[in-house]
Structure 1
Amino acid sequence: MATIKIKQVRSAINRSQRQKRTIQALGLKKLNQVVEKEATPQILGMVKKVQHLVEVVE
């Protein structure tokens, strides 16, 4: 399966606890941090839930 790079571009401060946990589950801890994940349906769903906080770097 293909991999995607996920970059956090906005802060999780003043966001719901669910969004904070999703960012944490993706492995993101700081702004502008990039993590590489497998493009599974679960990961893509998590990215979709916090799409306003992250960007997918291809």
Structure 2
Amino acid sequence: MNTSTLADNELNYQYKSSLKSQYKTFKTGTEEKFETWLMSIEECWLEEVFACLQGNFPDWRG
């Protein structure tokens, strides 16, 4: 291999490593955001679901 090929391989490895790192960061952040969103949805609907279970159905027609 010549010096140019080795340099290209090193740059390619660094690029792939950078992309992999960005993907892991994005994926982790997305999971945390999803969990936060899911909990907020559960909190919003908890009272309405509880009311429905007690037979107090809201009128969503209006």
TM-score, normalization by structure 2: 0.23
Q: Which of 1 and 2 has higher RCO (CA within 8 Å, sep 6+)?
A: 1
Q: Which has the higher helix share?
A: 2
Task: Give the strand-richer structure, 1 or 2.
Answer: 1
TM-score normalised by structure 1 residue count: 0.24
The structure that has the greater radius of gyration is 2
